[in-house]
Structure 1
């Protein structure tokens, strides 16, 4: 399907690796110009787009700084992808998370999207563009090991619906893509979720990763890839479904069973 993204400009947060990097690749492949922001810019991202910026988006002024750089690079923003986020693992559950832990999780997984959206919205409104935020099925199925992350993603989903309601009449579409477990560094990297599960179960890490679909009740029996998430995001920011607004698009292999 031709998505007609030639001439469109996109800003992606947390674009250096994982899902963000694959979204950048997908948008560029469809003809969009992409600005990628991250605290540490990877060589892989530099190979995708010349418009890359090292910005600490977890700081109060970081998101607005990145938006200003994107406007300077490309003159305007048609597409915003709020990708930045990370599930801090809490093996000891709720009582192990102090105020500082909650503040870190909410700041990274919610407030970065709030601040980036606030800064980018004037340009997106002018161009009648699109916003997609990366959510999580944990917004619906919270567990103690990521209790603060789950709460932040539930708030992000609510934010997306509120933005769609307020700015939809002005031509802006806002959607959330909720992923189940995706085999990125958050799962497979050192200290990631797979390491935590391996420690708790006593099984080798590779065996744990192979068992994830069955453990979570996936109906496909497969783990989700970053490329799959990128494909859904790329479709949503195009104009092929102009009435898709305020929705949550779930990609999880059938893990989420609720109606």
Structure 2
């Protein structure tokens, strides 16, 4: 299916690995020119190469970074049509999960909201004027199934993502009449660096459960989270939904939330 994206310009945050890398690859394959944002590049991102890809090193904990990122997209490619707010999860230097409401401090809460909500507010604020100049655009915010599944584990992260879901609805209500669609994709547990890196979620849960990291990813976590597919989500499965939402083929889809979560959410 032709997604009718060729020639458009996108900004993708958290683009160096995981979901962001898969989104960047998918959009490039569709003929999109992509500004890929991350604190550092990776060999996998560099391997995508080509004139349609620009990596911009940014730390989204810096309040000025989202504005600079959008400005680079306009400077390099002449405008902006798509914004994928994918960066999120543990703030730099933080390891998750935390297992109790009592675990995060005030500073932990502030950092979590800075990374998972406020950086997105700033990116959207910078992107909307540029999209309006082009007659519209598409914003896709990557949230989490945990935004609608309250739990004491990672309570600060869950609360930030719940705020992001609310923000998405509000943005859609205001800007859809002006041609800017805003939607949410809510992954479940995805086999990304959050899980796989040394000291990541798999290692932390393995220490708690008295098992090894591979067992956590292959069986313990899917069972613990009651994933009906029996496995963690693949990043490409999330990227495919994001690309469709970014596309004009989704012209009447706005203010919506799409779960790509291996059956994690059970509520209606």
Using the size of structure 1 for normalisation, the TM-score is 0.97
Instruction: Pick closer, same or farther for the CA change 1:89–1:38 going to 2, 3 Å.
Output: same
Partners of 1:44 and 1:142 lie apart in 2 by 34
Partners of 1:90 and 1:221 lie apart in 2 by 21
User: Which residues of 2 match residues 185-224 of structure 1 at below 5 A?
Assistant: 185-211=193-219, 212-224=221-233
1:75 counterpart = 2:64: no
8 Å CA contact 1:14–1:38 kept in 2: the answer is yes
Partners of 1:10 and 1:108 lie apart in 2 by 20
- Counterpart residue number, 2:253: 244
8 Å CA contact 1:10–1:77 kept in 2: the answer is yes
1:232 counterpart = 2:238: no
Instruction: Pick closer, same or farther for the CA change 1:10–1:228 going to 2, 3 Å.
Output: same
Secondary structure of 2:15's counterpart equals coil
Gaps of 5+ in 2: none
Q: Which moved more, 1:35-44 or 1:68-77?
A: 35-44
Which of 101, 105, 126 pairs up with 1:98?
Answer: 105
Partners of 2:232 and 2:59 lie apart in 1 by 30
CA deviation string 1:190-233 (max 9, x = no partner):
22111111111101111111112222212222221000000000
- Counterpart residue number, 1:15: 15
Secondary structure of 1:249's counterpart equals strand
Which of 165, 173, 177 pairs up with 1:169?
Answer: 177
Which of 134, 140, 165 pairs up with 2:142?
Answer: 134
Instruction: Pick closer, same or farther for the CA change 1:90–1:18 going to 2, 3 Å.
Output: closer
8 Å CA contact 2:98–2:104 kept in 1: the answer is no
RMSD: 1.2
1:160 counterpart = 2:163: no
Secondary structure of 2:159's counterpart equals helix
